[in-house]
Amino acid sequence: MIKQLACLGLAMLPLAACGDDGGAVCEPAACTSQCLGTGYLGGACVGGSCQCSGHPGADADADADVPRDDGGGAEDAAAEEGGGWGSRCEETGEYSYIWIADTGEGKLSKLCTLDGVEVGRYWTSPQTTGGDPSRTSVNLHGDMVVTNREVSGGPSSVTKFAGLLEDCIDRNGDGTIQTSTGPTDVKPWGEDECMLWNSPLSGGSAIGARATAWDGTENAETGEGGFVWIGALTSNQVFKLDGDDGAILEQTRVTNSPYGGVIDGRGNFWVVGAMCTIGMCQLARVNTSALDTSYVTVPCGYGITADAQGRIWTSGRTLTGSCVNRHDPATATNTTYTAPGMTNFFRGLAVDGLGSVWVANTGGNVLQISEDTVELVHDVPGVGSSVVGVAIDFQHNVWAVAEESSHAAKINPTTYEVETFSVGSRPYTYSDMTGFQLRTVILL
């Protein structure tokens, strides 16, 4: 199927698409999503119209019309061609993945947390090596978005990937899902059929998009619905994106230069500001319904997460060391663990739902903090060089991302044994990389 549509005076233009009403203003994110969803490899607004490009040459069918479980479907064909995803997650059917941005090379690594096998590696933006990906967020269904920050030669953007092979799109209609099967199998941009959409956030330049979070309103069974919230450091904008197609639905502004973000399960998007690293730390609380904003002061911030009681946890550097802070919005109080000395630089953190909060320290260790008392329980050394973020998997193991070591470390929360698994160059992610926070802690 090649589109031949008359759109804004461009009669019978091949590879062109326009809005349903033919006269609407072209919206870049919707254009890209529409083109990708109908079998093309990209789309752009040209002269007010949406023009699709790079059609593979076969009819596109989002459902592929091929059974996936009888030996002849798209999922089986992908496994036969590329060896499948070859991990315990695939063998057992147990969904448990971690998505880590390989910032140094513009890619994304997907690892099975059961065995550490990297089952996929993907470009995150049309700018490939210049994409600068960082924060990732996983929704209740297992789909994931990654945000591209200071993109070289293009706008900051958000890209969505399907978590399950059955949700990928057979764009060329060949009955096979063309997708990465591991770190050496990276498809050209736009050709990986598990990439669902890419949504640019500005007209042509990077705006430092960083804070990233799904809101948890999507259907956990189908993945449909839900919204993605994004905060941009440079422009101070906050965006609400449609989880199905990446369209920008609403925007507002904050004043604290968004750096990280979390949804609290109570209708608020909390944003930690970039100025926290020099002792001027404010959290912005954006009401996701009314879009009004209030601010609270905390002693430190870099990483941010929320617990089941709606308390907001931050960690980061202070003027004399580092701290972990628990802010209770109900009482407007802060409870803080402080570590003096500038050799400490606390970064990302995660709540495990079992009474502990785990905190990354750039120096190479991960701290276990009591959720109840906000006191140090244990210090796990030997995690890697420049530890930037942590996440919890669905077996309650702790994962840490070590930027300079280019690996992910898996920590047993009982024995504190550390295993490491290689990923791409200079990984830099410290958000809800597994979806555990949203699914089992925040939305209890």
Is residue 240 in some structural domain? no
How many domains, in total, are found in the chain?
3
What ranges make up the beta strands (E) of 308-417? 312-317, 321-328, 333-340, 346-351, 356-361, 365-370, 376-380, 387-392, 398-402, 407-411
Q: What pLDDT is recorded for position 294?
A: 98
Is residue 420 in some structural domain? yes
C-alpha distances (whole Å) from 180 to each of 42, 113, 119, 120, 276 are 19, 17, 7, 5, 38
126 and 211 belong to one structural domain: yes
192 and 285 belong to one structural domain: no
Is residue 126 in some structural domain? yes
Three-state DSSP state, 442: helix
Number of neighbouring beta carbons within 10 Å of residue 203: 8
Q: 196, 220, 244 — which closes off a domain?
A: 220
Secondary element (H or E) of residue 76: helix 74-82
8 and 148 belong to one structural domain: no
Q: Residue 33 sits in which domain range? A: 4-53
Check whether 18 has a pLDDT greater than 60.
Answer: no
C-alpha distances (whole Å) from 320 to each of 158, 220, 346 are 36, 44, 12
120 and 188 belong to one structural domain: yes
pLDDT in tens, 96-134: 999 999 999 999 999 999 999 999 999 999 999 999 999
Strands 209-214 and 312-317: unpaired
Q: What pLDDT is recorded for position 139?
A: 97
Q: What pLDDT is recorded for position 49?
A: 58
Check whether 280 has a pLDDT greater than 80.
Answer: no
Q: 204, 220, 236 — which closes off a domain?
A: 220
278 and 394 belong to one structural domain: yes
C-alpha 243: how far from chain center: 12
Q: What pLDDT is recorded for position 269?
A: 98
Is residue 398 in some structural domain? yes
Check whether 63 has a pLDDT greater than 80.
Answer: no
pTM value? 0.82
Is residue 148 in some structural domain? yes
Both tokens of 324, joined, read 């972990």
CATH of the domain at 355: 2.130.10.10
Whole-angstrom distance, CA of residue 174 vs CA of residue 165: 15
Is residue 78 in some structural domain? no
C-alpha distances (whole Å) from 21 to each of 26, 213, 300 are 11, 32, 50
pLDDT in tens, 303-352: 999 999 999 999 999 988 999 999 999 999 999 999 998 788 999 999 99
Check whether 390 has a pLDDT greater than 60.
Answer: yes
346 and 429 belong to one structural domain: yes
Please report which confidence band the pLDDT of residue 205 belongs to, taking 50, 70 and 90 as the band edges.
Answer: confident
In contact, 290 and 267? CB cutoff 8 Å: no
25 and 152 belong to one structural domain: no
Check whether 385 has a pLDDT greater than 70.
Answer: yes
Please report which confidence band the pLDDT of residue 396 belongs to, taking 50, 70 and 90 as the band edges.
Answer: very high
Q: 178, 203, 220 — which closes off a domain?
A: 220
Check whether 65 has a pLDDT greater than 80.
Answer: no
Is residue 259 in some structural domain? yes
Q: Tell me the mean pLDDT in the region 417-442.
A: 96
374 and 430 belong to one structural domain: yes
Is residue 93 in some structural domain? no
Please report which confidence band the pLDDT of residue 408 belongs to, taking 50, 70 and 90 as the band edges.
Answer: very high
Check whether 77 has a pLDDT greater than 70.
Answer: no
Check whether 427 has a pLDDT greater than 50.
Answer: yes
275 and 372 belong to one structural domain: yes
Residue 142 backbone phi and psi in degrees, to 5? 105, 0
402 and 307 belong to one structural domain: yes
275 and 213 belong to one structural domain: no
Residues 6+ apart with CB under 8 A from 415: none
414 and 317 belong to one structural domain: yes
